[in-house]
Amino acid sequence: MKTNKILSLLLISFLTLGIISCKTSNALKGAAIGGAAGGVIGGVISGGNNTATGIIIGSAIGGSAGAIIGSEMDKQAKELEEDLKQAEVERVGEGIKVTFDSGLLFAIDKSTLNPTSKSNLDSLAKTLNKYPDTNIIIDGHTDNSGTEKHNLALSMDRSDVVTSYLKNLGVSSTRITTNGFGESLPKASNETADGRSQNRRVEIGIVANEKMKEEAKKAEGGK
């Protein structure tokens, strides 16, 4: 019975988000996700999903404060889109997710940054340093080539390398959480070369830290 209730709430939440995404700005989505659906989705996600997307959705505060955060994230996302032409930049709830195809950063089965990756990460660090009131989640993912143990280690090595590079560019280590998920969370089928290419990736989540949340709540109270 409890499981059925949770599934029903999730269905309602996702339908609500689908309607909102068609009719509102990203800033207003921040309010809706945190207020209308974020409580349900966040509660489920917080039970075990510590991916970039899970943390972004689970950390939403909603209401007018969520809309204020969403507006700030709109600005950051726009700058990232302009600077990171080869990466995928998505606004998710009250945060941002940046996805780098691992080919942009690393050679196959390697964890050493290539010259192109450094240019991309330089641009990313510039924006992260410009907006210091955010926390950052760095997730490494692989396809299913090789052993599960090897892929888990490779994904962790890659996220560690990206983290170290950003730290060297002035991004505070206190803002960063680093994860490696190996082959466990594919975004496409591993049965095709294109699918495996999509699964080899580094995802970076950007969310409001406690300072930004508190300032947004104060601004909400002043309206």
Q: Which CATH architecture has domain 64-221?
A: 2-Layer Sandwich (3.30)
The pLDDT of residue 2: 41
Report pLDDT for 72.
97
Quote the pLDDT of residue 45: 37
For 133, residues 6+ apart whose C-beta sits below 8 A from its C-beta are 208, 209, 211, 212, 215
Cβ-Cβ contacts under 8 Å for 215 (sequence gap 6 or more): 133
DSSP bridge pairs for 100: 202
Q: Report whether 126 contacts 112 (CB < 8 A).
A: no
pLDDT in tens, the chain (223 residues): 444 444 444 443 444 444 334 333 454 444 444 433 333 333 333 334 789 999 999 999 999 999 999 999 999 999 999 999 999 999 999 999 999 998 999 999 999 999 889 999 999 999 999 999 999 999 999 999 999 999 999 999 999 999 999 999 999 999 999 999 999 999 999 999 999 999 999 999 999 999 999 999 999 876 5
pLDDT for 115: 86
CA distance 85 to 71: 22
| Angle, CA 64 vertex, CA 60 and CA 66 arms, to 5° | 20
Structure tokens, 59: 């950390």
**Which residues sit opposite 106 in a β-bridge?**
113
The Cα 18–Cα 37 span in angstroms is: 11
pLDDT of residue 148: 98
What are the residue ranges spanned by the domains of the chain?
Answer: 64-221
The C-alpha angle 162, 163, 167, rounded to 5 degrees, equals 120
Contact 6, 37 (CB under 8 A): no
Tokens of 179: 């994860």
The angle subtended at Cα 201 by Cα 198 and Cα 203, nearest 5°, is: 120
